Amino acid sequence: MHIMSEPKEAVSNSAELARQLNVPRLTLLRCVRSGHSSQNRWSKLSLRAETTSEVACSETESSGAILKSMASQFFRKVMGLELEEKILNAGALVAIVGVFLPWIGGEKIGGAMVSYSGFGFYTTIIGISVFALHVFVLLITLIPLTGGPVFIRKRYREVVRLCATAEAVILILASLSVLIKVTFDLARMEIRFGIYVALIGSLVALFESFLRFQEQRKGFVQELFHHPEEDVRPVDKTEFFEAPPPPPPPPPLPPEEHRMYR
């Protein structure tokens, strides 16, 4: 270790060290040079590793800052939506959560306790359909906010939302009727709260989409029966045909001169 840490002194005292270690002088010099070169190589590798770690840390910090700015911008866009739009999407989100909650549960004939969500039991296809419809309703709003393309034109957007939410409500009511029949056949099975959560969220989304559809129809009717000439303000004749101002009064007459007779 002393030879590798201080190579110059080891080279100067190479003859004495070779005699003490009982090795040839040439072999000792090679060992010293190899130790010096390994130290240089190790220092270069450590410097490169430190540089790489610093670059990786800087890249991680920059990517984290970009993600934070994107999230804040998306949140501002969501908060800038209209109130009806927020309620509609909130109802769709509640319905999606309700599909994952238990729809039916209870005790089987064998005595085992079971609980099924909207994706299980006899309502698997209905649960998947309701989930897909409400995700579609959410994507209609969220994709344009994230900078993506608008795959539903504004003219047909409210009609599509109304049809999707109405179909989701119909499917949930159909699954509710099926589950009620199952509870009649199996007395130990009962309907759970998940299907009611999904139904309430779907009804809220349906109500708001219907209101927006009515507003859109009202706007179309106003545009259809709108005449541009009605926007022109009627001409006030007094503005263009005003009476000329009266002439100025005549200047005063000079004072009369009276002759004096003596």
Model confidence pLDDT, tens digit, residues 32-89: 555 445 455 556 555 565 566 565 556 666 677 777 777 777 677 777 778 888 899 9
Mean pLDDT in residue range 93-104: 93
The whole-angstrom separation of Cα 93 and Cα 166 is 15
- In contact, 171 and 126? CB cutoff 8 Å: yes
Mean pLDDT of the chain: 75
- In contact, 189 and 106? CB cutoff 8 Å: yes
What is the pLDDT at residue 31? 52
